[in-house]
Amino acid sequence: MRRVLVAGIGSTPFGRHGDATITSLALHAAGAAIAESGLDRARIGSLYLGNFIAGPLTGQEVLAGLVADGLGLAQIPCTKVEGACASGGIAFRHAYLAIATGLCDVAIAVGAEKMSHADTASVTAALNCAMDNAADGVSGLTFPGLFGLAARLYGERYGVGRAELSAVVRKNKGNGLRNPLAQMGATLRDEEIEASPQICDPLRLYDCCPVSDGAAAVVLAAADLHAELTAQPVEVAASVQTRGSPRIGGHRDLCSFDATVSAARQAFATAGIEPRMVDLVELHDCFSIAEIIDAEDLGLIPRGESAAWAREGRTGVGGDRPINPSGGLLAKGHPVGATGIGQIYETVLQLRGAHPNQVRDAAFGLTHNLGGTGVACTVNILKRLDA
Amino acid sequence: MRRVLVAGIGSTPFGRHGDATITSLALHAAGAAIAESGLDRARIGSLYLGNFIAGPLTGQEVLAGLVADGLGLAQIPCTKVEGACASGGIAFRHAYLAIATGLCDVAIAVGAEKMSHADTASVTAALNCAMDNAADGVSGLTFPGLFGLAARLYGERYGVGRAELSAVVRKNKGNGLRNPLAQMGATLRDEEIEASPQICDPLRLYDCCPVSDGAAAVVLAAADLHAELTAQPVEVAASVQTRGSPRIGGHRDLCSFDATVSAARQAFATAGIEPRMVDLVELHDCFSIAEIIDAEDLGLIPRGESAAWAREGRTGVGGDRPINPSGGLLAKGHPVGATGIGQIYETVLQLRGAHPNQVRDAAFGLTHNLGGTGVACTVNILKRLDA
């Protein structure tokens, strides 16, 4: 496998983009990433686009070809990939593999979603496309319901509750406040979180990520092209994709997603580093409880201690293990297909030392993107070139 | 790149499958392909699933993970890919690449679609997800409309018309009659075709592929595993994916799709053979006129002569250049995401000498899968191992 660099990044703000089409959002992000890389777009040999529900919500598929056409790329392979909320991470991995395996020297991964124009019932129905409808759809369970169950179970098992969930929310909302791309940064007190509407016991409104529009893109290049790059590159030390059960009954434990555990183990082995060497993490906090579970599944915090770490502030930007300095899905937003690539965007800024919530001397960053009921997962490890 | 073999194939019949879920169709085809290969499913290292519109039509995404779960595969990367009607071909190419580039030794590509349960308006709206809705959707044009325009233009340019279109229909419907997987084989007279309802001038009902359900799957293996395979393998001599314009206005000529031209040139160069060496072709005849155009774009018949070849019977099973011995999309059916893999299925049977419409001594077969308004294309060349 050849060494691969992130050569350029681009993103729209995450949030509400009114009447903008999903294609226009993707083109904005992709154009910015290409421009920053300094590479001629004629050299791009492959495009992957991560998207989950543009079909049901916008009536538009073939997004990979639409974006390539708008960018004026050559007659290259252009592919939309889908794995629910992990669609963006899957797009990134495939662009990475195209270069690592020698198929081309430059590739682009784009993630995009447009959701805010649709009514709540349509959005809920579309998101439920990520469940196994034959097995679980009939139960009436939604994703907030699933993570509400996980929060109850985790809380009872480890003796934690509202205070720890709120600590995650406060941290991420606070981080989001300083991230210009974030949809819903805020300075929140525990009482405000507790007073927000109950969604699925024990989850409150602030425990749930918002409905978002947005797009993000990264240009990847073979390490041979380093001298030609105009932005500071970072290296992809590992890019792993796994699957887990699409059925809730297929999970032995709702306090862990085995697709994450497996992906993280493979990623650390590939990168040749220990979890303690990770300077910052952008992980899939679709709900506050998800951040607590994911951090343990990734091997970053010992099992059962993640909630306490959150309460003690050890996952803040200046803490022992900074998690979601971007604000995460909770505050930055979750335009589903864009999220996994947005995580790469944020991590690259950190490794360049240019993030608005900079983690000091960040050398290794990890991103974690999880789809559905843990059915698809990607974990990437990025590193500073001098690390 | 390592040599790759098709180790096993499976398919449902194409047609109407009532209340069967799309997942159950995919599992039927995939299970058959694995069983035929003789390989333990635990060795499968990657799964790609081609699907176009399960989101809008069935409310079910994450199909790649669902199928892997149903098959009991390991925690391997499972990815849905989408490129409109070329989704199946794209899935095949990615499974091929996973082995050719050394990522794994065994991979499976599955294609599936479920459409017949939906009403006509829903199906039409879903199929139009393959258009650039911002550029062309507002015109009210549908895919029959687009190919109707192409038929008019081709007819005027080359002085051909109803007789040639009907010759394609008669041939493919007749081939379908002898293919047990085909949805709508028939023995038709020209008068019956001409008397069928007009869809988009000059296209009649019989000029258009039906709405279909179905799934197809292929197991691919590294050539090193040859001795372990229980079914007669064939080799993948080339697998190419290209893009074209998603906008009708982006095509300089409606009598040609440049994504096909480019993919075919690359495929012949990779396989190291001339078009005249192809013994049979499974190409994307979504409409009768499409077969005429595609055969020229693929370089199999000189420009402007394809209609005459059809009229003269030169594209029949025993002709100079057999096209769609399976019955093609017109007669076998077009469960969109399954079509490209169904073409591989048919071609493998031919190269094994076991097809119900066997082309004598077939050594090289070509498959061609085209999406949307030519926005995505795959061309594969398969060869008999002793060829």
How does pLDDT run across A212-235, given as a tens digit for each residue? Answer: 999 999 999 999 999 999 999 999
Residue B245's closest chain A neighbor by CA?
A: A69
Instruction: Give how far Cα B196 sits from Cα of B161, B190, B191, B204, B206, Å.
Output: 16, 10, 9, 6, 7
State the nearest Cα–Cα gap between A51 and chain B, in angstroms: 10
State the nearest Cα–Cα gap between B52 and chain A, in angstroms: 8
* H/E element, B153: helix B143-158
- Residue-wise pLDDT for B25-40, tens only, equals 999 999 999 999 999 9
Contact call for A375 and B65, based on CB within 8 A: yes
Same domain, A149 and A73: no
Cβ atoms of A285 and A165 closer than 8 Å: no
Report pLDDT for A140.
86
Pick among A75, A124, A336 to test the B interface (most B CBs inside 10 A): A75
Same domain, B296 and B157: yes
Same domain, A109 and A180: no
Report pLDDT for A200.
95
Q: Does residue B340 fall inside a structural domain?
A: yes
ipTM over 0.95: yes
Taking the CA atoms of residue B87, residue B93, residue B99 and residue B104 in that order, the dihedral angle to the nearest 10 degrees is -20
In DSSP terms, A380 is beta-bridged to A239, A367
Q: Does residue B267 fall inside a structural domain?
A: yes
Q: Which residues does chain A have within 8 Å of residue B62's beta carbon, measured at their own beta carbons?
A: 82-84, 129-132, 246, 371-372, 375-376
Same domain, B109 and B175: no
Q: Which residues does chain B have within 8 Å of residue A95's beta carbon, measured at their own beta carbons?
A: none
Structural domain harbouring B241: 130-208+237-383
Domain endpoint, select from B183, B200, B235: B235
In degrees rounded to 5, what are phi and psi of residue A82? -140, 130
Q: Which residues does chain A have within 8 Å of residue B375's beta carbon, measured at their own beta carbons?
A: 62, 65-66, 69
Report pLDDT for A143.
94
Residue B241's closest chain A neighbor by CA?
A: A77
Contact call for A64 and B23, based on CB within 8 A: no
Same domain, A311 and A188: yes
**Distance between CA atoms of A324 and A178, rounded to whole angstroms?**
12
What is the average pLDDT score of chain B?
Answer: 97
Same domain, B187 and B222: no
**Number of Cβ pairs < 8 A linking chain A and chain B:** 181
Residue B108: strand, helix, or coil? strand
State the nearest Cα–Cα gap between B147 and chain A, in angstroms: 18
* H/E element, A30: helix A22-37
Residue B360: strand, helix, or coil? coil
CATH number of the domain bearing residue A24: 3.40.47.10
Q: Does residue B183 fall inside a structural domain?
A: yes
Report pLDDT for B138.
84
- Nearest beta carbon to residue B61 from set A68, A129, A262: A129
Same domain, A262 and A337: yes
In DSSP terms, B93 is beta-bridged to none
In degrees rounded to 5, what are phi and psi of residue A74? -75, -175
Contact call for A81 and B83, based on CB within 8 A: no
Q: Which two tokens stand for residue B27?
A: 């599992």
State the nearest Cα–Cα gap between A1 and chain B, in angstroms: 9
Please list the pLDDT of chain A residue by residue as tens digits (387 residues).
999 999 999 999 999 999 999 999 999 999 999 999 999 999 999 999 999 999 999 999 999 999 999 999 999 999 999 999 999 999 999 999 999 999 999 999 999 999 999 999 999 999 999 999 999 988 888 899 999 999 999 999 999 899 999 999 999 999 999 999 999 999 999 999 999 999 999 999 999 999 999 999 999 999 999 999 999 999 999 999 999 999 999 999 999 999 999 999 999 999 999 999 999 999 999 999 999 999 999 999 999 999 999 999 999 999 999 999 999 999 999 999 999 999 999 999 999 999 999 999 999 999 999 999 999 999 999 999 999
In chain B, the DSSP E strands lie at: 4-11, 47-50, 78-82, 106-113, 198-200, 203-204, 214-222, 234-243, 280-282, 364-371, 376-383
Closest CA to A328 of A183, A125, A202: A183
Closest CA to B257 of B129, B379, B82: B379
Choose, from A17, A94, A284, A334, the residue flagged as catalytic.
A334
Q: Which residues does chain B have within 8 Å of residue A102's beta carbon, measured at their own beta carbons?
A: 101
Q: Which residues does chain A have within 8 Å of residue B243's beta carbon, measured at their own beta carbons?
A: 64-65, 68-69, 73, 75-78
Q: Which residues does chain B have within 8 Å of residue A58's beta carbon, measured at their own beta carbons?
A: 133
Q: Does residue A101 fall inside a structural domain?
A: yes
- Nearest beta carbon to residue A376 from set B65, B90, B128: B65
**Distance between CA atoms of B282 and A15, rounded to whole angstroms?**
46
Instruction: Verify whether residue A334 is a known catalytic residue.
Output: yes
Pick among B82, B122, B245 to test the A interface (most A CBs inside 10 A): B82
Same domain, B80 and B223: yes
Contact call for A244 and B132, based on CB within 8 A: no
- Nearest beta carbon to residue A243 from set B75, B93, B244: B75
Q: Which DSSP state fits A48?
A: E
Contact call for B80 and A83, based on CB within 8 A: yes
Average pLDDT for consecutive 10-residue bins of chain B (387 residues)?
98 97 98 98 98 97 98 98 98 98 98 98 96 90 94 95 97 98 98 97 97 98 98 98 95 96 98 98 98 98 97 97 98 98 98 98 98 97 96
Same domain, A109 and A186: no
Contact call for A132 and B66, based on CB within 8 A: yes
Same domain, B22 and B169: no
Report pLDDT for A141.
87
Domain endpoint, select from A235, A251, A272: A235
- Nearest beta carbon to residue B372 from set A65, A79, A134: A65
- Residue-wise pLDDT for B234-258, tens only, equals 999 999 999 999 999 999 999 999 9
Instruction: Give how far Cα A226 sits from Cα of A42, A46, A95, A110, A384, Å.
Output: 17, 19, 17, 21, 13
State the nearest Cα–Cα gap between A351 and chain B, in angstroms: 27
Contact call for B243 and A64, based on CB within 8 A: yes
Q: Does residue B124 fall inside a structural domain?
A: no
Cα end-to-end span (Å), chain A: 20
Residue B47's closest chain A neighbor by CA?
A: A243
Same domain, A188 and A318: yes
Residues of B recognised as catalytic: 85, 334
Count of structural domains, chain B: 2
Q: Does residue B300 fall inside a structural domain?
A: yes
Same domain, B68 and B102: yes
**Distance between CA atoms of A143 and B56, rounded to whole angstroms?**
19
Cβ atoms of B307 and B164 closer than 8 Å: yes
- Residue-wise pLDDT for A110-140, tens only, equals 999 999 999 999 999 999 999 999 999 888 8
Q: Which two tokens stand for residue A340?
A: 């996994």
Q: Does residue A124 fall inside a structural domain?
A: no
**Distance between CA atoms of A334 and B304, rounded to whole angstroms?**
51
Q: Does residue B362 fall inside a structural domain?
A: yes
State the nearest Cα–Cα gap between A82 and chain B, in angstroms: 5
